[in-house]
Amino acid sequence: MRVSGRRLAELIGRFSRVRALVVGDLMLDRFVWGQVERISPEAPVPVVHVTGEDERPGGAGNVVSNVTALGGRAAACGMVGDDAAGKRLASALRALGAGTEGVVVSRHARTTEKTRIIAHQQQVVRLDREAPPLLDGMGTRRVRDFVLRGCARFDVVVVSDYAKGVVGPELLAALAEAHARAPFTWVVDPKLMKPNRTEAAEAAGIDIRDRASLSAAGRRLLERWEAEAVLISCGEEGMALFKRGGGVQEFPTVAREVYDVTGAGDTVLATCALALGAGGTLEEATVLANHAAGVVVGKIGTATLRADELRATLRGRRPTARAVGLRAADAARELKRGARRKPRGRLSGARAAREQRTGPRMS
From CA 358, how far away is CA 316, in angstroms rounded?
Answer: 34
**Which one, of 273, 213, 272, lies nearest residue 248 by Cα?**
213
Q: Is the dihedral of CA 86, 91, 93, 99 positive or negative?
A: positive
**Which one, of 170, 55, 150, lies nearest residue 100 by Cα?**
150
What are the residues whose beta carbons fall under 8 Å from the beta carbon of 29, sequence distance 6 or more?
55, 56, 57, 58, 61, 62, 113, 114, 116, 301, 302
User: Rg of the chain over CA atoms, in angstroms?
Assistant: 20
From CA 201, how far away is CA 102, in angstroms rounded?
Answer: 33
Q: Which of 29, 161, 189, 266 is the catalytic position?
A: 266
CB-CB contact of 52 with 327 (8 Å): yes
3 state DSSP class of 114: strand
CB-CB contact of 171 with 197 (8 Å): no
Backbone angles phi, psi at 215, to 5 degrees: -65, -40
Cα separation of the two ends of the chain: 33
**Which one, of 226, 224, 160, 169, lies nearest residue 194 by Cα?**
160
Give yes or no: 155 in active site.
no
Q: How many helices (H) and strands (E) does the chain have?
A: 11, 12
Strand-pair partners of 35: 49
From CA 119, how far away is CA 349, in angstroms rounded?
Answer: 41
- Please identify every residue annotated as catalytic: 266
